[in-house]
Amino acid sequence: MKGYRMRRFVVSVLLLLCPLALPLSGVADTASEHVEWGAWSFDYEVRDNTGLALRNVTYGGEQVLAKASMPVLRVKYVKERIWWNPFTWFGSRADSGRCGPFQDRLRWQDLVPIVNCGDQKVCVESSTVKGMKWLELGIYARIGEYHIYQSWHLSEDGELRPVVQSRGLSCNTDHVHHPYWRFDFDINGNGMDQVFVRDDGGPDSGWGPGWKKYTNERNDVKHTATHRAWFIRDQLTGHGVWVLPGDGYAPLKDDGERDSFADLDVAIRRANADEDLSWVFGARGQLGYDEDNQGVQEQDVVFWYVAHLPHMAALGPTKWLTLGPTLKIHR
């Protein structure tokens, strides 16, 4: 797995910077398109300030996701400009080292044509790595001093990997990018999804050792020592999807650690159409939508995954950093 991840990281950076010898399975300069590839079928789109999103995702003819998107990248600098403290206002952002926080949304107007993908804004590329066929969809955005490459990687055997790569410095200060992925699961299309969490060595709560079923909306955190993972399944068929924390794209070793600015790794919510929006909580706001503590048993559920990408200023503005979780289809 790590071999693939390193390879794809290199490929993605090369995609932006130099010509590729890999064949293209398709390119598009539109905000939406339908794709049929192997056992996968889906629509992609760039609209509503939610980055490159996938809709109506099926695998092997069975519904998996109604929508997968990335509504925001929240950015927190160690030093900020504080509105009520004029001593933080002086000097340029680069000189003072004070800026943010930010709530970056990837919009169509932020996208830069990818030179070696026919100057398209959405690049769709296929490749074979260690005998496994993969499809990559990516967009390259410029927001201020940031260069951001957001992509989806799909394997022929049922993996889906959302990935974010970032470089650039708005201020010469350490900071953390927090991408928020939103997965609106609709497994088998019947609205009877269940959400489980599994920890190695955990107690038996009636579903087997280490397994626990969520009954209501809640937030959760990673737990490396117990290899915590989440499983969303259809109650009728037992088919489901594993959500696994990322195990690192060098030089990062994992998906980072939560902090007081972004204090969760996972959130489970009941799906509501009026919550399928761009980020509405501001740069400093935590994820909401849980005020009613709605039940999530045998419901249409939304699963949020939050990663934490640390960017040390000493690395400079040209070093690409990459992370993202793994989703695995289970039949």
pLDDT average, residue stretch 263-272: 92
- CATH code (residue 312): 2.70.98.20
pLDDT (tens digit per residue) in 90-103? 444 444 456 878 88
Tell me 78's DSSP state: S
pLDDT at 272: 86
Helix-strand-coil split of the chain, %, nearest 5: 10, 45, 45
Q: Domain range for residue 90? A: 2-330
Q: What is the pTM of this model?
A: 0.86
pLDDT at 1: 42
pLDDT (tens digit per residue) in 216-267? 999 999 999 999 999 999 999 999 999 999 987 888 989 899 999 999 999 9
Tell me 14's DSSP state: H
Residue 33, classified by CB atoms within 10 Å of its CB into exposed (0-12), middle (13-18) or buried (19+), is middle
Number of domains in the chain: 1
Q: Rounded distance, CA 122 to CA 152, Å?
A: 11
Structure-token pair, residue 68: 């997968």
